[in-house]
Structure 1
Amino acid sequence: MMTKFHQVLAECPICLNEETMTIWDEIDASTDPDLREKLLHKTLQSLECRNCGNSTLIASPLTYFDPALDLLVECRPDLDREQLMQRLTELQQADNAQAGTNPDDTQASFRRLVATTNDLIEKIHAREQQLDDRALEIVKLAVINHGAGEVSVEDLRFVGFSASELNFVMKLEDGWFQYALPLEAYTNAELIVEQLEAANKTADPGFNLVDRQFAEELLAVFTAAMSDPEAL
Structure 2
Amino acid sequence: MSLFAPLNIVCRECETLITMDAVGSVNADRRPDFREDILHDSFQDVSCGNCGHALRLQPNFNYLDAGRGQWIAGLPANQVSQYIEVEDGVSLLFDQCYGSKAPKAARDVGDGLDVRLTFGWPAIREKILAREHGLDDVVLEMLKLDLLRRMPEAPLAEGMELRMTSVTEDRLSFAWMETASEAIEQEMSADRVLYDDIAANRDEWSKISARLTDGPFVDIQKIYLGEPRAA
| Residue of structure 1 in register with 2:218 after alignment | 210
Please give the alpha-carbon distance, in whole angstroms, between the structure 1 residues aligned to 2:119 and 2:168. 27
Say if 2:60 is the partner of 1:56: no
Query: Do the aligned partners of residues 17 and 99 (structure 1) sit closer, same or farther apart at CA in structure 2, a change above 3 Å counting?
Result: closer
| Residue of structure 2 in register with 1:230 after alignment | none
Pick the aligned partner of 1:143 from 142, 147, 161. 147
Report if the CA contact (8 A) 1:144-1:156 is conserved: no
Please give the alpha-carbon distance, in whole angstroms, between the structure 2 residues aligned to 1:64 and 1:165. 27
Structure 1 residue ranges without an equivalent (≥5): 221-232
| Residue of structure 2 in register with 1:117 after alignment | 121
| Residue of structure 2 in register with 1:41 after alignment | 40
**Aligned residue runs from structure 1 range 80-229, under 5 A:** 80-81=79-80, 83-93=82-92, 95=95, 98=100, 102=104, 104=106, 106-107=109-110, 108-144=112-148, 146-147=150-151, 152=155, 154-171=160-177, 175-176=184-185, 178-195=187-204, 202=210, 208-214=216-222
Query: Do the aligned partners of residues 195 and 109 (structure 1) sit closer, same or farther apart at CA in structure 2, a change above 3 Å counting?
Result: farther
Q: Which amino acid aligns with 1:15?
A: C
Please give the alpha-carbon distance, in whole angstroms, between the structure 1 residues aligned to 2:223 and 2:155. 19
| Residue of structure 2 in register with 1:229 after alignment | none
For residues 78-115 of structure 1, the C-alpha deviation after alignment (integer angstroms, 9 at most, x for no partner) is 76235331121234356496189735165242110111
Q: Which amino acid aligns with 1:210?
A: V
Q: Secondary structure at the match of 1:121?
A: helix
TM-score (norm 2): 0.75
Q: Which amino acid aligns with 2:219?
A: D
Please give the alpha-carbon distance, in whole angstroms, between the structure 2 residues aligned to 1:195 and 1:42. 35
Structure 2 residue ranges without an equivalent (≥5): none
Query: Do the aligned partners of residues 91 and 165 (structure 1) sit closer, same or farther apart at CA in structure 2, a change above 3 Å counting?
Result: same
Please give the alpha-carbon distance, in whole angstroms, between the structure 2 residues aligned to 1:66 and 1:34. 12
Q: How many residues align?
A: 213
User: Deviation of residue 21 (structure 1)?
Assistant: 0.6
| Residue of structure 2 in register with 1:224 after alignment | none
User: Deviation of residue 182 (structure 1)?
Assistant: 1.1
The root-mean-square deviation of aligned C-alpha atoms, in Å, is 3.5
User: Deviation of residue 27 (structure 1)?
Assistant: 0.6
Mean Cα deviation higher: 188-197 or 74-83: 188-197
Mean Cα deviation higher: 17-26 or 154-163: 154-163
Report if the CA contact (8 A) 2:63-2:73 is conserved: yes
Query: Do the aligned partners of residues 6 and 145 (structure 1) sit closer, same or farther apart at CA in structure 2, a change above 3 Å counting?
Result: farther
Please give the alpha-carbon distance, in whole angstroms, between the structure 1 residues aligned to 2:54 and 2:23. 17
Report if the CA contact (8 A) 2:165-2:173 is conserved: yes
Please give the alpha-carbon distance, in whole angstroms, between the structure 2 residues aligned to 1:68 and 1:206. 25
Q: Which amino acid aligns with 2:130?
A: A
Q: Which amino acid aligns with 1:190?
A: A
Please give the alpha-carbon distance, in whole angstroms, between the structure 1 residues aligned to 2:222 and 2:134. 20
Once the two structures are aligned, what percentage of the paired residues are identical? Answer: 23
Please give the alpha-carbon distance, in whole angstroms, between the structure 2 residues aligned to 1:216 and 1:23. 32
Report if the CA contact (8 A) 1:95-1:206 is conserved: no
Please give the alpha-carbon distance, in whole angstroms, between the structure 2 residues aligned to 1:152 and 1:78. 18
TM-score (norm 1): 0.75
Q: Which amino acid aligns with 2:80?
A: R
User: Deviation of residue 26 (structure 1)?
Assistant: 0.4
